[in-house]
Amino acid sequence: MNTQSDDTKPQICRLCLALTSKSFSLITNNVAVEMLQSLTSLKILPTDEISTVMCLKCSLNLKLAYKIQQNMLNAEQRFRAQILASVKQEIDVPQNGKIKTEQLSDEELPKTSAQSTKSLKEKQSEYVCDVCGKKFPALSAIKQHKNNAHVKLECPICKKKVTKYSYSHHFRGHTDSFTMCELCGMVVKKVNFLYHVKAKHKEQSYKCGYCDEVFKRTFTRNMHEKKVHLEQADFVCDTCGKKFYKHSHLKKHVESRHLKLRPHICEFCKVGFSTRYAMLTHRRQHTGEKPYKCEDCGDGFRHKVSLKAHLKSKHNVEEELTCECAECGKKFGSDAALASHKRIH
């Protein structure tokens, strides 16, 4: 990386904007170009009207940063290989990460809600999964669905329980290598690359049928229409009558509010919580982690609401209230805050 510019006239370093009399080309030096693209999304072109050189300090820093990045990635790969080697003897996981599981018996299948007085065609559309409420045309289809979507397997590496359908993708997350997105420079695992491109860079959009809001995914658009426009909460708690838009939300409600389940345990004080988010938030009391930083003074906070209160009291920063309740007209700063408020109506 010693392609030094012949021009001794001071130039501006493209990377730090400092004036330098000893510069190195970012065009002809292929090694430097590869390092820079590996670390950032910055592309230096010969046609650029601004500086195309870097100073000696940035040249050394670039080499150091690239070496650190490669060491981290290599260490991660070696670490994963060691973990896999230690668990391969304990589990029967093929190369593709799939695992064999017992199929559900016919007695374990969810009951059908088809009525004997209806036609066969009507019956076939009413085989309902008793876990998520989805409908299927045949018993074989619902059996396959339940085995794939609701039978959970424990990952031998992280001990997380995932569905059989998601197991292969999850397992690859522990073993896959990394790649860099050329559109934004973000480094992601190969197994998540397509999802990253679709979520961050996909141009296709889905417009709401009731308003002008646009979404990148049909699922997000459909949930928006259900919640905001149709208020179609089909899942009702038998105990308290509370309504939900998704069966999974109803299930979590029953487990936490009525069954009082607390499966997420703090490793420091052994206190249990109903959700992983609540446990991780509590855990900050032990670790001292303060992820929410004030951009004005640098103070850190454990909770986002504490940062908002700080901004209001210390810096006179008021949160923009853009979400209005249709029932009482009260405004909130986010959809989540509005949804939480709606529970009182």
Distance CA 224, CA 117 (A): 37
Residue carrying structure tokens 């480094």: 187
The pLDDT confidence band at residue 4, using thresholds 50, 70 and 90, is: low
**CA distances (Å), 206 to each of 31, 224, 316, 343, in order?**
42, 11, 38, 29
Say which amino acid occupies 265: I
The annotation status of 294 as a binding-site residue, yes or no, is no
Could you tell me which CATH number the domain at 1-90 has? 3.40.1800.20
Q: Where are the domains of the chain?
A: 1-90, 290-344
**CA distances (Å), 129 to each of 16, 123, 142, 245, 259, in order?**
59, 14, 7, 16, 22
SS3 127: strand
CB 200 within 8 A of CB 184: yes
Mean pLDDT within 64-70? 87
Could you tell me which CATH number the domain at 290-344 has? 3.30.160
**pLDDT for the residue numbered 165:** 76
For 161-196, b/e burial (b = at least 16 CB within 10 A) is: ebebeebbebbebbbbeeebeeeeeeebbebbbeeb
**pLDDT for the residue numbered 3:** 55
pLDDT of residue 114 exceeding 50, the answer is no
The annotation status of 155 as a binding-site residue, yes or no, is no
Read off the pTM: 0.43
Distance CA 268, CA 252 (A): 25
The pLDDT confidence band at residue 109, using thresholds 50, 70 and 90, is: very low
Lowest average pLDDT, out of 7-21, 71-85, 298-312, goes to: 71-85
The annotation status of 240 as a binding-site residue, yes or no, is no
Rg (CA), the chain: 27
The annotation status of 16 as a binding-site residue, yes or no, is yes
Distance CA 135, CA 255 (A): 24
The pLDDT confidence band at residue 117, using thresholds 50, 70 and 90, is: very low
**pLDDT for the residue numbered 301:** 92
